[in-house]
A = this chain, B = another copy of it.
């Protein structure tokens, strides 16, 4: 994926942020929930999607929130597929 494609893809998932950790670009969104149980249920639903697609995010489950981070290890950064997975994560949340 070319660097200049990011803004266009990012526009389709406005609630996600592009971040960089250890020199690797990632997209991240923190989803809010009313307690720990609902947060963990969301983690499991995103986990099911990840297993189905064999593409796995980092999922930080806390009381009242889940922070989801997508990136592609094999390219050391963002791939078009990460943006698709982010959009599908938004669908699960809705």
Contacts and interface: CB of A to CB of B under 8 A. Distances in A.
A47 B44 CA distance: 11
Contact of A36 (B37, B56, B62, B63): B56
Interface residues of A, number: 15
Contact of A58 (B37, B50, B61): B61
Interface string A24-56: 000000000000110010011001001100001
A19 interface: no
A61 B44 CA distance: 10
A63 B36 CA distance: 22
A62 B44 CA distance: 12
A63 to B, nearest CB: 4
